[in-house]
Amino acid sequence: MFPVYLLEDNSIQRQKYVEFIQNGILINDANLELKSTSDSVEKFYQDYVPKEQGLYFLDMEIRDDKFAGLNIAEKIRKDDPMAQIVFITTHDELSLTTLERKIAPMDYILKNKGLDEIKHRITDDIEMAQNNLQKYSHSSKNLLDYKIGSRYFSIMMDDVIMLYTQKDVPGRIFIVTKNQLAEFSGSLNTFETDYPSLFRCNRSYLVNLDNATTYDSHSRTLSFIDNSTCEVSFRKSKELTRLLSKKKN
């Protein structure tokens, strides 16, 4: 059972949300339970178990603390990169872009859309959280981590398409995922060792074969789901053909 947390300081709204959450769990037959309902930051931390995977419904502004929800979410995210976080808030409290950068929440529910919409969204989010939590609970090496300065970034391994380096920018690794392009300082060799599931197809490319689509062994070109391609070195071509046929079976 994964825990569900709710933080909302308005008592009437809180009662409604409790009702919606319990309903949503029933409808989806989800492996979740509403473990904690809090009206203050203190109460939330009393119930909070760090590093425990779960689903969090948070209001942003709690008792005149404009960033209470954000601060809690930051803490949760730090403890568990896979935590499923949903903000229920009024539109003006939302700094959407900041939230996306700091928390990357699963969803934002806007209060001014009305209670019916909130109910609907809570039910949907419970379903999605249930799927995500189950998908990522059984394997441990499902995240690719890197560091810029003092900040750690995590990317789901499923999303990773390739890591590559460029001659004109030595010491930089570029990472392409299904929905982003990022860069950081490091060496591909380290990542090749740390993440054996990735395939080194030439000196400057480390790719995720799960996201590869086709391989043309004549031109030694490997294509990926985002239509990007990479050249495979002569030496690695055989190994790649073997790996791909193994994957098919």
Partner 1 sequence: MVYIDWQLSFVANFFMLFAILQMHRYFLNSFNIGHLISDVTVSLIFGYIGLFVDDIFILLFVCFILLCNWLWNKGKKLDMQKSISLVMAANFETVLFSLATYTARIIFFVALNEWKLQILEEFQQNFILVSILINAIYIILFLLLANFYRAATVKLWIQVEQYHLGKRVFTMSFSVFVAFMVILLISDLQSVTATLQAIILVVFTVIITLTYRQLIFFVKTIAIQRQAQAKVIYNKQLNDYLTSVRQQYTDLRKFKHDFQNIMLSMKTFVDQSDSKELKQYYQDIVQSQAKLLPTDSGNIAQAQVIDSDMIRGILIQKFFLARNQGINFQLELTKDNYHFTNDILIIVRILGILLDNAFEYVQTIDEKNVTCAITQDDNITEITVDNPVKGSLNFKDFFQTGYTTKENHTGFGLSNTRRLISETDNLYLETKIIHGHLLMTLIIVGGD
Residues at the contact surface with partner 1, assessed by CB under 8 A: 10, 12-13, 16, 61, 67, 70, 90-93, 95-98, 100-102, 104, 111-112, 114-115, 148-151, 162, 168-169, 172, 176, 179-185, 226-228
Q: Which amino acid is at 13?
A: Q
* Least CB distance to partner 1 at residue 138 (A): 25
CB-nearer residue toward partner 1: 46 or 131:
131
Q: Which is nearer to partner 1, 90 or 219 (CB)?
A: 90
Q: How far is the CB of 165 from partner 1 (least distance, A)?
A: 12
Answer for the pair 177, 155: CB distance below 8 angstroms, yes or no.
Answer: yes
Please list the residues that pair with 108 across neighbouring strands. Answer: 87
Using CA atoms, how far apart are residues 240 and 222, in angstroms rounded to an integer? Answer: 10
Nearest approach in angstroms of CB 156 to partner 1 is 13
Q: Burial-class residue 173 by CB neighbours within 10 Å (0-12, 13-18, 19+).
A: buried
DSSP string, 90-143: -GGG--HHHHHHHT--SEEEEGGG-HHHHHHHHHHHHHHHHHHHHHHHS-S--E
Closer residue to partner 1, CB minimum distance, 60 or 126: 60
CB of 120 to partner 1, least distance (A): 15
Nearer to partner 1 among residue 35 and residue 156 (C-beta): 156
**Nearest distance from residue 62's CB to partner 1, in Å?**
12
Smallest gap from residue 68 Cβ to partner 1 (A): 12
Q: Which is nearer to partner 1, 35 or 120 (CB)?
A: 120
| Cα-based distances in Å from 211 to 114, 164, 202, 216, 238 | 40, 15, 17, 15, 19
| CA gap 217, 70 in Å, rounded | 50
- Is-contact 62 40, C-beta < 8 A? yes
Which residues on neighbouring strands pair with residue 202, listed in sequence order?
A: 205
Compare residues 91 and 242 and give the one whose CB is closer to partner 1.
91
